[in-house]
């Protein structure tokens, strides 16, 4: 199941990738893709944090994490994301943030598409809050319009 989740996450990242995306859009797409996969594997994620072999889960998600690290590293160098943490540490922190947001989304607030989680993650990565809100709203609106057309 862990391998399946890792494979699903890599596929979601591949589907979300667009060649002309700016750094914040690329990260937003990755966060929204991870949110969708995380929703499908919510139980596995919750058990992994508490009871299962955490190392096995981390290993299964390693390829997706490496992609996130590469995006963060490149764009930290350009000043898009905060440089107060090395990219691998920041990627792991953002990865740890998602289950906490998902757990609370299930019981305290509604975020079915992951928009609020994407905003929170972008802010945690060092993007100004207002810019994060505008980025996520614009991307979701554009994707919905493309899906309707």
Q: In angstroms, rounded to a whole number, what is the distance separating the alpha carbons of residues 4 and 8? A: 6
Query: In this predicted model, what pLDDT tens digit does every residue of 21-41 receive, in sequence order?
Result: 888 888 898 888 888 877 676
User: pTM value?
Assistant: 0.79
Indicate the angle between helix axes 115-124 and 129-148, nearest 10 degrees.
Answer: 140
d(CA 148, CA 98): 28
Question: pLDDT for 71-119, tens place per residue?
Answer: 899 889 888 899 999 999 999 888 888 777 877 766 666 677 889 889 9
Whole-angstrom distance, CA of residue 75 vs CA of residue 19: 15
Mean pLDDT score, 124-129: 93
């Amino acid at each position: 199941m862990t391998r399946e989740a890792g494979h699903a996450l890599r596929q979601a990242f591949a589907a979300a990738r667009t060649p002309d995306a700016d750094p914040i859009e690329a990260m937003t797409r990755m966060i929204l893709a991870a949110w969708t996969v995380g929703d499908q594997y919510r139980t596995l994620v919750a058990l992994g944090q508490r009871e299962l072999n955490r190392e096995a889960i981390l290993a299964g998600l390693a390829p997706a994490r490496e992609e996130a690290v590469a995006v963060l590293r490149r764009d930290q160098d350009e000043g898009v994301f905060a440089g107060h943490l090395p990219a691998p540490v920041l990627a792991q922190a953002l990865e740890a943030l998602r289950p906490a947001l998902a757990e609370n989304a299930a019981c305290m607030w509604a975020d079915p598409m992951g928009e609020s989680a994407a905003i929170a993650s972008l802010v945690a990565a060092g993007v100004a809050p207002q810019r994060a809100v505008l980025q996520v709203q614009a991307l979701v609106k554009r994707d919905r319009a493309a899906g309707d057309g």
